[in-house]
Amino acid sequence: MPRLKAPFKYYEGKHQKGKHIRLTGHMMEHPTYLKLSASAKELYSYMKLHAKGGYTIQYAASMANDLMSAKTFRKARDELVAAGFIRYPNCYRARDKREPGEYEFSDRWWRDANDN
């Protein structure tokens, strides 16, 4: 029998079938996450929202134009890569061809910290 999804609370928005993201308490309380800048946390949340639960995502800098400047996007993205939250395997190809970047979500943020 399939599990019933809990409805959103009134303060979470008016659309019961709206998009949402999942951030675990382990992640939000982890020192690596807490050290991220506000821009990096915001970008990560929007990337998760756009990924719709997927492991990989195509995300162009222009998709964050309403959130932050291109310079802030690059800085936040690089911060997420360095901290181990995302991988950016096609960084050179995307830049040279002016394509959206292909990103992968990563667990390196807690594995590298030896936090089980």
Q: Is residue 25 part of a domain?
A: no
pTM for the full predicted model: 0.84
Q: What residues have CB less than 8 Å from 111, skipping those under 6 apart?
A: 84
**22 falls within a domain:** no
User: Quick check: is 115 in a domain?
Assistant: yes
CA angle 105, 52, 103 (to 5 degrees): 30
Q: C-alpha distances in angstroms, 70 versus 11, 19, 23, 45, 63?
A: 32, 25, 25, 17, 10
Number of domains in the chain: 1
- Residue 6 has a pLDDT of 74
What residues make up the domain containing 69? 39-116
CATH code of the domain containing 57: 1.10.10
Cα–Cα distance, 31 to 37 (Å, whole number): 12
How would you write the pLDDT of the chain (116 residues) with one tens digit per residue?
676 677 777 777 777 677 888 889 999 999 999 999 999 999 999 999 999 888 999 888 888 888 999 899 999 999 999 999 999 987 665 555 667 788 999 999 998 876 55
